A and B are shown apart, each in its own frame.
Chain A
Amino acid sequence: MATLQSLDLQRRSATSGTPPAARKTLEVAKLIDVSKCIGCKACQVACMEWNDLREEVGEVTGVYDNPHDLSPATWTLMRFTEWDNPDTGNLEWLIRKDGCMHCSDPGCLKACPAPGAIVQYSNGIVDFVSENCIGCGYCVKGCPFNIPRISKADNKAYKCTLCSDRVAVGQAPACVKACPTQALVFGSKEDMIAHGEERVADLKSRGYDKAGVYDPAGVGGTHVMYVLHHADKPPIYAGLPLAPKISPLVEMWKGLTKNVGLLGIGFAAVFGFMHYVVNGPNRVSDEDEQAAAKLKGDGT
């Protein structure tokens, strides 16, 4: 069922029960160290190159963000924030590489109604399979990070694939390959957490005592993680969610509503059938007809 023979599926949208994986795969992750990022956008360009994406020429909105939002043709985007640090009085220039976080508990996959339009490989990558996508936009509603975008051209959902095609053949994602400062690194999730902790220790020793790794538990952890110098305030990094999790509205919609709803409908149909079996049809009798005829006769 996998789209790539070399990758096993762990989850599949709109599918109850996923077959066990044939192999044991290493969980992978990308680590984005914002403290090392110089905002050169090499990763953004590499992403366009590898995935053959060309954003339309847009308009300048007065900031460095270019284009100014993710789109079906922009799967990763550098977001720049000027932040006045109230504790030090310094103006800090925060740069965050935005894109799909590859959640362990992906809201898009949970929301999607089309079987196999969204899959999660056993290595943790969440991927869209355009062939199965019907363009409803439910994934947009499911995502806690506001990532998927629907193309106007083909009405399919697009986002970062974590270069699943490259990873499948043992290559690091294109963005990682292009990064000149090693602000982006890729490897097993375990190694990336360990590396992140080293970076955090280093940042703390240099006065960033709130530094930390961003691997939010609300979505079961992510396969794209950040090292943040102000890990206590993720939202200052262009609105990175403080405690992301799948919206309770989405959980309710996709959880209780579906099963109780279908059960209710089935129950009503069975109840009707049984009522008929027990009571038989409600028929008009001859006496009814005669009474009506009499009434009609009298009434004229």
Chain B
Amino acid sequence: MTGSHYRDEPTTVSRYSAAARVNHWVTAASLILLALSGLALFHPSLFFLTGLFGGGEYTRIIHPWIGLVLLVSFAGLFLRFWRLNLWERTDNVWLGRVRAVLAGREEELPEVGKYNAGQKLVFWGMSILIIVLFVSGVGIWRSQYPFLRETLGIVIPIDQQRLAVLVHALAAIGAILIWIVHVYAALWVKGTVRAMMRGSVTGGWAWRHHRRWLREEVGARTPRRPAE
């Protein structure tokens, strides 16, 4: 990926393979459908959302199955990205300067690898919450109780069902909040969405937001170490 480039046609850096993008969008679609179908049952004022799924009964039926799709799909993303999301010392510095982040003054931040601390928190937050949502979701999946009993010998006592539904609702709120942060960040930081649509970003985007990653990508040795 070298060669000549014109001033007004920026260089590009490849960020996501086609498989990673498909994986991402399957996950995104299932998460959004889960949030909509879940919220429909979560609050009376949102019950009208059941109309999107063909009524209350269909909403109740389909939601947990989409949950299974999400679980498998997210597992794919997890395996792809967990290594790059391991916490580093510079992430603490980045977090400590979150005001500069929100103001868009990235020159005050340490050079960032493929993911910044915010993205890593989104990644780990979602990883944990999806597991919690799955376990608590199975705990309230009434139509599968006979299956659980007959295949695994699991009978869920009523108080655990009550706990599960409370935990599920709380975790769902957490996941939706993280989702809002994730989507907002992608929209706010211009040039980000194309990473997941086309698989590439402009060199300038990488320079501005993920400079250490860009240096690694072009194979250049960094002359200066990032401020620590």
Interface residue ranges, B against A (CB under 8 Å) = 1-2, 5, 7, 10-11, 13, 41-45, 47, 50, 55-57, 59-60, 102-104, 140, 142-143, 158-159, 161-163, 165-166, 169-170, 173, 176-177, 180-181, 184, 187-191, 202-208, 214-215, 218-220
For the complex with contacts A135-B142, A141-B140, A288-B205, 9 further pairs of A-B residues with Cβ separation under 8 Å are A138-B165, A253-B162, A264-B177, A276-B184, A292-B13, A293-B11, A296-B5, A298-B220, A299-B219
Q: Are A261 and B44 in contact (CB under 8 A)?
A: no
Q: Are A289 and B202 in contact (CB under 8 A)?
A: yes
Q: Are A249 and B102 in contact (CB under 8 A)?
A: no
Kindly list chain A residues whose C-beta atoms are within 8 Å of the C-beta of B60. Answer: 134-136
| Nearest A residue to B3, CB-CB | A300
Partner of A289, one of B143, B204, B218: B204
Kindly list chain A residues whose C-beta atoms are within 8 Å of the C-beta of B142. Answer: 135-137, 140, 150
Interface class of chain A by DSSP:
helix
Known contacts A141-B162, A253-B169, A257-B170; A296/B2 CB under 8 A: yes
Q: List 19 A-B contacts (CB under 8 A).
A: A113-B42, A113-B44, A114-B56, A132-B56, A135-B143, A141-B140, A155-B143, A252-B166, A253-B169, A265-B177, A265-B180, A272-B180, A282-B189, A284-B202, A288-B204, A289-B202, A290-B7, A292-B203, A295-B203
A283 within 8 A of B: yes
Partner of B220, one of A14, A150, A268, A299: A299
Kindly list chain B residues whose C-beta atoms are within 8 Å of the C-beta of A15. Answer: 44
Q: In the bound complex, what is the Cα–Cα distance between A264 and B176 (angstroms)?
A: 10
Q: Are B166 and A253 in contact (CB under 8 A)?
A: yes
Q: Are A269 and B159 in contact (CB under 8 A)?
A: no
Q: Are A264 and B161 in contact (CB under 8 A)?
A: no
Q: Are B158 and A146 in contact (CB under 8 A)?
A: yes
A262 within 8 A of B: yes
